[in-house]
Amino acid sequence: MALGENIKQARMKAQISQDELAKRLGYKSRSTIAKIESGENDLTQKKIAAFAKALNVSIDFLMDGNGSENNNQGVRIPVLGRVVAGIPLEAIEEIEDYEEIPRKMASSGEFFALKIKGRSMEPKLSEGDIVIVRKQEDVDSGDTAIVLVNGDEATVKQIKKTEAGIMLIGFNVEVYQPHFYSNEQIENLPVRIIGKVVESRHKW
């Protein structure tokens, strides 16, 4: 596998955009990264080493695809300020920060992080907390999920499933009363699950 293809593979596995990688390496635009990944631009050994460091892999891995990856460090994922219907997660530019997750976790799916807004999930989740989310279109009853309702901004709620539909539950009932959506409403509004919350991180 060519150097450019190995760089692209490592970047995608680390869930880093071309824009972000360009910033880390001091390039002015993502077009330079695109040309490197397509094989149009060559790299010096020094630059290859810089790419390996930025992508947290070995130089050998970038050179021939057979070297070992550095498993001692985690994988960075973006912390999104919001998620809106109709905008693919990878296209959202409102990245507020980055969080690191273990490589073992990262290898189990596609992840992003979301900053909690509001008080509907207190006391378990407070405003400003970060939740780590695995992208998936369905969850089990009792799971906490990221949900899009009627095209609005995503909300974090516990899911309770019944044969007739689903209920979205906030832990703070003074702020958010449980909302039930029938199977017809799920289809027509729509109500869309985009990920499962697998971890929360409190910010002091």
Catalytically annotated residues: 120, 157
Burial zone of 34 (CB within 10 Å; 0-12 exposed, 13-18 middle, 19+ buried): middle
Give the contacts of 52 (CB within 8 A, at least 6 positions apart).
58, 59, 61, 62
The C-alpha angle 120, 110, 170, rounded to 5 degrees, equals 10
Beta strands in the chain (DSSP E): 75-80, 95-101, 111-115, 130-135, 144-149, 155-162, 165-169, 179-182, 191-201
Are 124 and 118 a contacting pair, CB within 8 Å?
A: no
At position 85, the amino acid (one-letter code) is A
Q: How far apart are alpha carbons 128 and 131 in whole angstroms?
A: 10
SS3 13: helix
Round the CA-based radius of gyration of the chain to a whole number and report it.
20
Residues 97-132, buried b or exposed e (16+ Cβ, 10 A)? eebebebebbeeeebbbbbbbebbbbeebeeebbbb
